Structure 1
Amino acid sequence: MDLTAVYTFVTAVDEGQFQEAATSLSITPQAVSKRIAVLEKDLGVQLFSRTARGARLTIDGQAFLPHARALLQAEERAAASVRPGTRPLRVDVIGRQLSLAGLLRDFHRAHPGIELDVVTLLDSAAAIAAIRSGTIDATFRAVTMPGRQLPDGIEATPVLDEPLHLFTGPAHEFAAARKVTPAQLAGRRIWMPGNVPGTEWAAYYDELATVFGLTIDSIGPDFGIEPLLDTIASSSTLATFVSEQTPLVWPAGHDLRRIPLHSPIPVYPHSLLWRTDNPHPALTALRTHLSSAYPGRPEGDIWTPKWAQHPPS
């Protein structure tokens, strides 16, 4: 259906006369008549009855009018959904309950007028492909995977360097420790059922395990955070890793422990990735906000895989 003809039809109804509609549309009355005639032919009905006093809606025209208005409203919503400055900023995060979602919440509090559309894609490859295709505007990721470089036109900037904590139940051998070194975990089992092979975070923990001699166990179904907490709380041998700022709440009876790692501090480096030619104005606001809020790397001896090092900022 020709939406220009539909718009002409609605304008003619609102103005009351073809002459007035022509003036409003900056076209001739003959052009108005021609557009409506084409629309009537497409629909197979007469929308106006022409009289010496002008044109009046027929019964079919009255029936069509609310749908014509809905068509024009749908057209505007469709255009607004992709028009920079009017559509929401689409940002990918690994998980909605992780610290990166907190960064977005802080941004939203600072810029309540900017609409956000938060999505969760599986891994960095899917996220980068979505940036390149324009499906999303930005993603929070470790910068790259082993042997993989960022594609041309994609930039990255560090936004959060997050130290890891050991997470145990009260019966675990390190439950009473104030700090633990990665070397002390050699030969120990770290249970992380959410680690998906091929993802950048699985690659991060695999390298951590290789360097310090511990075991990352991802066997078993991932039922979510609550069953994980229940299992860790009741085990004397299982522990897991959580990031320093990961928000967690558990029943008081679990008596779970978050123990900082040090000498060195394993740090997970989060960056914001985006396409350099993306014109969305809210993307600039997000980058500026995150840049001003970036606390820098933790002080002291830190560890992170070489492939996950931040690019020059």
Structure 2
Amino acid sequence: MDTEAVRSFVRAAEVGQLQHAADELGVTQQAVSKRIAALERELGVRLFTRTARGVELTLDGQAFLPHARTVVTGVDRAVNAVRPGSRALRIDVLGLRSAQAVVLHDYWRSHPETDLDVVTLRVNDPHVAAVAVQTGEIDASFRTVTDAATLPHDVQMIHAFDSPLELLVGPRHPLASARTLTPPQLRDRRIWVPGIAPRSEWAEFYDELATAFDLRIDAAGPNFGNEVLLDALADSTDVATLVGARDRYIWPTSHDLRRIPIVNPTLAYPLSLMLPRTNPHPGLHAIINHLASLAPLPERAWLPSWATTRRRSDDDTVRTHRP
């Protein structure tokens, strides 16, 4: 099996577009297409379906992806075992427009010499990301296992930063003119958050949030992506959603969407960083210091129970990683 074809498949699956995969691999889009086509012929299955926006994994592609990642990781390890120097610091984020990616980008802009590889595993269960850290597929992951006792013994989890939530609404929504909102003002409002996956950390977060403030969190329907969600908000008079203050969203100016901070208390999503307990990548020290320098939450803030019970020990762990 051609390992470069497998690598091309993995990168295309992660970025969702053949051209972007080709750019990252330093080859032409035609070369990536030919590699994947040859791989599909060898396997006897279709790995992707082509869409107007790029490529999407078929069911066979989804089944093949984790094994393909293992192949690529094994090849990289074999090469690095005999090549001077070390590979780039590889960190998993929930999405390339997520708060984690934005924070990493801010760090990289101040430290452009950093050899950084930002990836998205596209898994919902944080335990899968923990195993990827354990096996060395990635060096760290911005995921949270809410019960730390279920982490692999050689993986640790530290507090990274907290992401204040904002309400995102269209111009015709009754709350669109508000400069700030309090949680009681969100009661009885439809807050649509498609894509809340079972066994994910965000499923637990939204369950606790809805219970704590008697909110109507609606996860109905399939998740067709941010563009569809933003289109729906622009046209609606009653639908809103929650976004992180650092999350990067882009929409047409005609949408006229409004991001409204939530205060008294600030609602915050806690973000953790999973990394090896011993011999972490040397580049992680500076990243952890950068995370510790981010602005703290306001005094009046709400966090889910699984974050508040771990906060003190997490902060102590961050300090131990400062050079």
Q: TM-score, length-normalised on structure 1?
A: 0.69
Q: Distance in 2 between matches of 1:299 and 1:254?
A: 31
Asked whether 1:301 is paired with 2:300, we answer yes
Q: Distance in 1 between matches of 2:284 and 2:240?
A: 38
Contact 2:165 2:267 in 1 (8 A): yes
Distance 1:217 1:111, change over 3 A: same
Contact 2:266 2:298 in 1 (8 A): no
Q: Distance in 1 between matches of 2:312 and 2:300?
A: 19
Distance 1:148 1:164, change over 3 A: farther
Structure 2 unaligned regions, length at least 5: 1-74, 316-323
**Letter in structure 2 aligned against 1:103:** V
Residue aligning to 1:138: 140
Structure 1 unaligned regions, length at least 5: 1-74
Distance 1:81 1:114, change over 3 A: farther
Asked whether 1:277 is paired with 2:282, we answer no
Asked whether 1:289 is paired with 2:290, we answer yes
Contact 2:142 2:274 in 1 (8 A): yes
Cα shift readout 1:207-234 (whole Å, capped 9, x = no counterpart): 1112111122112222211111110011
Q: Distance in 2 between matches of 1:82 and 1:229?
A: 48
Q: 1:94: Cα distance to partner?
A: 0.7
Residue aligning to 1:89: 89
**Letter in structure 2 aligned against 1:137:** D
Residue aligning to 2:171: 170
Residue aligning to 1:125: 127
Cα shift readout 1:99-158 (whole Å, capped 9, x = no counterpart): 21012212323333332222223232111111122221101124x325855443333332
Q: The residue matched to 1:281 in structure 2 has which SS?
A: coil
Q: 1:304: Cα distance to partner?
A: 0.9
Residue aligning to 1:183: 184
Distance 1:76 1:243, change over 3 A: closer
Contact 1:162 1:267 in 2 (8 A): yes
Q: Distance in 2 between matches of 1:125 and 1:275?
A: 14
Contact 2:180 2:262 in 1 (8 A): yes
**Letter in structure 2 aligned against 1:140:** F
Cα shift readout 1:28-87 (whole Å, capped 9, x = no counterpart): xxxxxxxxxxxxxxxxxxxxxxxxxxxxxxxxxxxxxxxxxxxxxxx9994227979511
Cα shift readout 1:138-182 (whole Å, capped 9, x = no counterpart): 01124x325855443333332321110011111111111122111
Residue aligning to 1:224: 225
Q: TM-score, length-normalised on structure 2?
A: 0.67
Q: 1:294: Cα distance to partner?
A: 2.6
Distance 1:269 1:178, change over 3 A: same
Distance 1:262 1:135, change over 3 A: same
Percent identical pairs in the alignment equals 45
**Letter in structure 1 aligned against 2:294:** Y
Contact 2:131 2:152 in 1 (8 A): no
Distance 1:294 1:154, change over 3 A: farther
Residue aligning to 1:104: 104
Q: 1:194: Cα distance to partner?
A: 2.5
Q: Distance in 2 between matches of 1:105 and 1:224?
A: 22
Residue aligning to 2:65: none
Q: Distance in 1 between matches of 2:221 and 2:81?
A: 40
Q: 1:89: Cα distance to partner?
A: 1.5
Contact 2:148 2:157 in 1 (8 A): no
Q: Distance in 2 between matches of 1:212 and 1:82?
A: 56
Asked whether 1:202 is paired with 2:203, we answer yes
Distance 1:208 1:285, change over 3 A: same
Q: 1:244: Cα distance to partner?
A: 0.7
**Equivalent pairs, count:** 236
Residue aligning to 1:238: 239
Q: 1:206: Cα distance to partner?
A: 1.7
Q: 1:204: Cα distance to partner?
A: 0.5
**Letter in structure 1 aligned against 2:189:** R
